[in-house]
Every structure is written in structure tokens, then in C-alpha cells.
Amino acid sequence: MKIDDLEAVVEAAVELESSRSGKRLLQRVIAMPEEDREALNQLLDEWTVQDARAVLDEIDRRLSTAEAIVKLCADPATDELHTLHPLVTQARWLFGPEYDSPIYASNRRLKAAIEKVLGPGVASENIPRPLIRPDLLVAANSTYSAVAAEDFDNGKPLARLRRVLLIELKKGGSKIGRDEMNQANGYVEDILNSGHLDGPPLIDAFVVGHRVDPGTGKRSVSFGGHTLGNIEAVSFAHLVDTANARLFRLREQLEERYGSSVGEDLVARVLAEPVQLKLRP
């Protein structure tokens, strides 16, 4: 090793030793196998630490979501209102990559339409804290999440609703069949005819439960020859399969990391306020 290189190594080691976290990092690097040190070096050649952490945190959040759904659905004692319902309604990416965007948000006009059709829901003092969100309405047998994307049409100065994501989560070992789909179909029609929505927007509605009856297909709502609503029944197991596919089967490859975690602990991790890390341009 050249003298200059040796001096640089010693200087870096002294600097790391001066702080508790630096000392711990140095110990970890020393204990690494040679191939891991080489992999870390290659990683830092291509990524900043902050960028890598931002990506890994998001992957961890999504894998934790999928694993929590698996564990909580298998437990008949699960408190759905405190765990499953806030978890699924927050993970809009489960229902399609197009919904994984900040442009989908709670909307006053949409909220007014939902409450007109479904009623005001359960009093806020009787709702678990994770479900007190502007996009949610908690009813006796279901939790509803409604968010919308707005757009400006043909240069008009006022934004209009372009697309709505409506999620209905059934409670208590529920099974989705013809009656539940007919009910959801009616909700979509009534929301479109509520008088609160301009546009009119396209409503994508998902009815989520523990099981879906065989033969329960998709529905569509049309007005004047135009499709303005799509309704689909989805099981929690289907959501997990979708999550696995979207995450390229990473959950299966990292089973050791997530398999031993308790469902409630995973929910707490996912619903915790994330650290805001910005990717560098």
C-alpha cells in the first residue's frame, strides 16, 4: 500500500472512531466478508447513501404491508379496524400503479357525495385513531376510502375531478358475492348522480373481503354510452399475490427477514410517520 493511501485509511479510521455511530460502522465494515465489502463499494459508486436508504425504506414498507396482510388475515382475533383497514387503505399501490401518486387525494366534493350516499358514518369518537383520515368513512359493516385525481379540461380555469378510487373494506370474515356487488354498483351510480361531482369522473371501485364467491365478475356502470364506473371484487389473498408480483417476488426471497415479525408490529412500522428523504436529481 502506498504511503498516501495508508495515511488516508488512518485518517478515515480516526475520524470514524471519534463518534459512536462511526465506530460501530467501522466495526461492521471490518467484520464483513470480502465479497460484502466489494458489493458495498460498488453500491456507493452508483448510489448515494441517502438515495439507497430512500429506495430501501420504500421497499421495506411495501414488503411489510404484504406480510402484515398475510399474518392478520390468518388470525381470527385480528382487530381489523386498528390494523387491516388503515393498512390497506393507505397502500393504494396494491390496486394499481396509476393510483400510487400524490395527485390522488381527499376531495371536499367527493367527500360530500360519499356522505350523501352512505351517510355520515360512525361518530369520530368511536373510530380508531388510524382511521381518522379525511379520505375515510367508517360505517357499521365497512370502511370506505375515497380519493380523487383532478385535472384542468380544455383550458378551463377550474379543476374538475378526472378519476376516483373508491375502496370498500368489509368487516368480519366477509365473503363478496352477488349482493355485495349489487350494493357497490348502486353506490357508484348514486355517487355519480349525487350532484356533487363535476366531470363526471371515472370511478374505479374495489370491494375487498376475506373471500370472493366463484363467478363473481367485474361490473361496469355506463351513462349515455360512456363507462363511468368499474367495480371489482378482491380478496385480501389476491392483494398479497398482487403485491408479490409488483415487488418481483422479493417477499419470498426475504422470507427470513419478515417471516418472524408479528402482524401488529408490521402495521405499526408501516403506519408510522416516514422519514422524508429526497432523491437527488
pLDDT in tens, 81-99: 888 999 999 999 999 989 9
pLDDT at 253 over 60: yes
Asked, for residue 48, whether it belongs to a domain, the answer is: no
Asked, for residue 267, whether it belongs to a domain, the answer is: no
Asked, for residue 29, whether it belongs to a domain, the answer is: no
SS3 231: strand
Q: Which residues of 161-188 are buried (b: 16+ CB within 10 A; e: fewer)?
A: bebbbbbbbbbeebebbeebbeebbebb
Position 49 confidence tier, pLDDT thresholds 50, 70, 90: confident
Asked, for residue 109, whether it belongs to a domain, the answer is: yes
Q: Return the DSSP state at 199.
A: S
In this structure, the dihedral spanned by the alpha carbons of residues 170, 176, 177 and 183, taken in order and rounded to 10 degrees, is: 30
Asked, for residue 255, whether it belongs to a domain, the answer is: no
Asked, for residue 1, whether it belongs to a domain, the answer is: no
Q: Which residues of 64-88 are buried (b: 16+ CB within 10 A; e: fewer)?
A: bbbbbbbbbbeeeebebbbbbbbbb
Asked, for residue 99, whether it belongs to a domain, the answer is: yes
Q: In this predicted structure, which of 165-174, 228-237, 246-255 has the lowest mean pLDDT? A: 246-255
Instruction: Please give the pLDDT value at position 200.
Output: 86
Instruction: Please give the pLDDT value at position 135.
Output: 92
Position 213 confidence tier, pLDDT thresholds 50, 70, 90: very high
Position 196 confidence tier, pLDDT thresholds 50, 70, 90: very high
Instruction: Please give the pLDDT value at position 281.
Output: 42
pLDDT at 9 over 50: no
Q: How many domains does the chain have?
A: 1
Could you tell me where the beta strands, DSSP code E, fall in 133-201? 136-138, 142-152, 159-170, 175-176
Asked, for residue 182, whether it belongs to a domain, the answer is: yes
Domain of 218? 55-243
Instruction: Please give the pLDDT value at position 15.
Output: 62
Instruction: Please give the pLDDT value at position 144.
Output: 95
Instruction: Please give the pLDDT value at position 19.
Output: 66
